[in-house]
Structure 1
Amino acid sequence: MSFKILIVGAGAVGGYFGARLAAAGRDVTFLVRPKRAEALRGQGLQVKSPLGDLTLQPKLATAEDLSGPFDLIFLGVKGYALEAAMQDLAAAVGPGSIILPVLNGMAHMGRLEARFGRDALIGGACRVAVTLEDGVIRQLNPLQQIGYGELDGTVSERIRAVDAAMHGLGFDAAISTRIMPDMWDKWVQLASLGAATCLLRGTVGEIVAVSGGQATALAVLQEAADVARSSGYPPSEGLMSATAAMLSQQGSPFASSMYRDLMGGAQVEVDEILQDLVDRGHAKGIETPLLQAAATQLHIYQAAKAGLHA
């Protein structure tokens, strides 16, 4: 029996993993908005990657013609697009459907649970550097990992089915029995890199090249780790060491995706990645002045972009 997969959106993350799934012969449908559907029908779904380019003519659906249910719903939209995405995908959710979100932060989990129920949800965390430029998905480096698991850490039959669908596609995929800590680890790293590069307005190499730069970046990491620890998810030693090393690398051209969005004049996930972390810290009595400064600065940017300033 075919395992029907719905990819919600064909942006950078969803489009990349969906393209790999479709190229391997999985039964994949992309749920897209009409404008994106028109573009994909014209130029195909294009991926430019150091691991090999591909162009597909994918199976498409819009919210108006979506028919379900689907076995697996892969949700990789930006946090600010979640509400609209939930409305669009609702028709695809049946009694046995599995929703696999790989959004940043943790706020999306509560919102998805409230809408579709906890039983429909599994956890997901992916690491891949991709951008969407002129309709083309560009992979910036070879890193491509995804983990997924039941929220209670068990290895269920449905997780085994998801795992079977994800293997043999050219990216690292694995069941996790600690998916909630994994998601928090990713959040700590993402928030630290995003806050440091956006607040200090530079790549890692540019930050560590100036007096106080490295110390400030590492202080941001410590704030994020303190919030996670107070929430019951202390970051792993490996995560802390790897992130500290990443934030300390001289000459590094690395910049977070949030920084790239900021420099490109795009909308940023400030509420999902930074403000939610700050708010959780405050609720636990944890002070996060650097994270708050980064979030405030990005809120000013968003307001200006939306034309809300007088």
Structure 2
Amino acid sequence: MKVAVMGAGAVGCYFGGMLARAGHHVTLVARPQHVEAIRDGGLRMETRQFDERVALQAGTDAAAARDADLVLFCVKSLDTEAAGRQLREVLRPGALVLCLQNGVDNADRLRTVLPDHEVAAAVVYVATEMAGPGHLKHHGRGELVVEPARGIETVVQALVASGVPTEVSPDVRSALWLKLVLNCAFNAVSAIAQKPYGFTVAGTGIPEVIRDVIDECLAVAKADGVTLAVDPHEAARKLVETMPTQSSSTAQDLARGKPTEIDFLNGYVVRRGEALGIATPANRVLWALVKLLERK
């Protein structure tokens, strides 16, 4: 396949890199410092299984996705519509756009600006970070859950053959909500403390805060007609066990002085709660504190 990764940060570099290692033609659309490093020496993938440099293409413009069969759409949630409009000018007919983003409504928002292309949502479970220009560090996991779409079976086969466990689920909305709940529980706390999950959950009162955040999210989800197939409290415990050294993407954004996705995580729950008449004080406090830290 010809694959383009739109917004090739840590998530995009991991999945794009895995496809490139398996022989697919992958082009990363990334920031200039990453593009320059990748062009000079390839993408360094430092994972739990291997540490090697992977050869692939890289560019800074959406035009690099012109001939792609598959676009891994990995931009921050606040950039969804703008990046989608850039793709609309260059994507060929028949290309599949797979959303690998935080939040629950990105695929729907992207469909409004790409009405003539197939767009599918995916739930991402991977712990990664960019340790430097062109240097990906993988801390754990690496699987995807995707929704049915035209051409998705071919993509799933390619991902699985590339070492990325992937399943198709007809109820991706429930899976997206579960991921949202976990992000709401951990991302802001990790960002405020600038510490990984294993450290934060040992803090005085933090387990109770996480419990309150999850309960509020469950109330909003129920009012919104969403039923979670997995107990998020148990999923939260397992997340800490499997990724104790991982800091949230929100923490990484704050550390780099970049805008976060908090408006699409705890902020989204606050807005939906207001619309549905559900109080969300714990989510509101975490959202407000991260917004305050963004102003620094």
- TM (norm. structure 2) is 0.88
Instruction: Give the residue type in structure 1 aligned to 2:205.
Output: G
1:62–1:246 distance in 2 versus 1, CA, 3 Å = closer
**Contact residue 270 and residue 299 of structure 1 kept, 8 A:** yes
Q: Which amino acid aligns with 1:71?
A: D
Give the whole-Å Cα distance in 1 for the aligned partners of 2:84 and 2:171: 26
1:308 corresponds in structure 2 to none
Separation of aligned partners in 2, 1:44 and 1:118: 34
Cα gap change, 1:207/1:20 in structure 2, threshold over 3 Å: closer, same or farther? closer
* Larger deviation, residues 27-36 vs 96-105: 27-36
8 Å CA contact retained: 1:33, 1:63: no
Q: Distance in 2 between matches of 1:260 and 1:38?
A: 22
Partner of 2:138: 139
Aligned in 2, Cα 1:296/1:82: closer, same or farther, shift over 3 Å? same
- Confirm or deny: 8 A CA contact 2:65 2:71 kept in the other structure: no
Matched residues in 1 for 2:192 and 2:215: separation?
A: 15
Q: How far did residue 301 of structure 1 move?
A: 1.3
Q: 1:77 aligns with which of 75, 78, 86?
A: 75
Q: Please point out which of 279, 283, 287 is paired with 1:287.
A: 279
Which letter maps to 1:130?
T
Q: 1:65 to 1:200 in 2, by over 3 A?
A: closer
280 and 95 in structure 1: CA distance in 2 versus 1, 3 angstrom threshold: same
Shift of 1:88: 3.3
Unaligned regions of 5+ residues in structure 2, if any? none
Give the alignment of 1:149-164 within 5 angstroms. 149-150=147-148, 158-164=151-157
Cross-structure match for 2:251: 259
How far has the Cα of 1:125 moved from its partner?
A: 0.8
100-109 vs 263-272, greater mean Cα deviation: 263-272
Distance 2:174 2:180 in 1: 10
Equivalent in 262, 267, 271 of residue 263 of structure 2: 271
**Cα distance, 1:157 vs structure 2:** 5.4
Which secondary structure does the structure 2 equivalent of 1:121 belong to?
strand
**What letter matches 1:302 in structure 2?**
E
Mapped partners of 1:297, 1:222: distance in 2? 20
Distance 1:223 1:91, change over 3 A: same
How far apart are residue 288 of structure 1 and its match? Answer: 0.6
Q: 4-13 or 81-90, which moves further after superposition?
A: 81-90
1:283/1:64 CA distance change after superposition, 3 Å: closer
Q: Is the 8 A contact 1:218 1:244 kept in 2?
A: no
Q: Which amino acid aligns with 2:94?
A: G
Percent same amino acid at aligned positions? 26
8 A contact 1:66–1:91 mirrored in 2? no
Shift of the alpha carbon at 1:263? Answer: 4.5
Residues of 1 paired with 2:252 and 2:61: CA distance? 30
Amino acid at match of 2:38: L
Distance in 1 of aligned mates of 2:223 and 2:116: 24
Shift of 1:105: 0.4
Could you tell me which residue of structure 2 aligns to residue 96 of structure 1?
A: 94
Question: Equivalent residues in 2 for 1:13-28 (5 A)?
Answer: 13-28=11-26
Letter in 2 for 1:36: H
For structure 1, which segment, 261-270 or 103-112, has the greater mean C-alpha deviation from structure 2 after superposition?
A: 261-270
Aligned to 2:180: 187
> Is it true that 1:225 corresponds to 2:224 in the alignment?
no
Cα pair distance change 1:289/1:201, threshold 3 Å: farther
Q: In structure 1, what is the Cα distance between the partners aligned to 2:124 and 2:24?
A: 19
Name the structure 1 match of 2:111.
Answer: 113
State which structure, 1 or 2, has the greater radius of gyration over its C-alpha atoms: 1
Aligned-partner Cα distance in 2 for 1:31–1:257? 19
Q: Quote the offset at 1:266 in angstroms.
A: 4.1
Q: Cα deviations across residues 273-306 of structure 1 (Å, max 9, x unaligned)?
A: 22122101110011111111111111111122xx
Change (3 A) 1:266 1:140: farther
Normalised TM-score (structure 1): 0.84
Q: Does 1:241 align with 2:234?
A: yes
- Report the equivalent of 2:288: 296
**Paired residue for 2:84?**
86
**How many angstroms does 1:16 deviate by?**
0.8
**Is the contact between residue 127 and residue 246 of structure 2 (CA under 8 Å) also seen in structure 1?**
no
Q: Residue in 2 aligned with 1:55?
A: 53
Q: 1:144 to 1:299 in 2, by over 3 A?
A: same
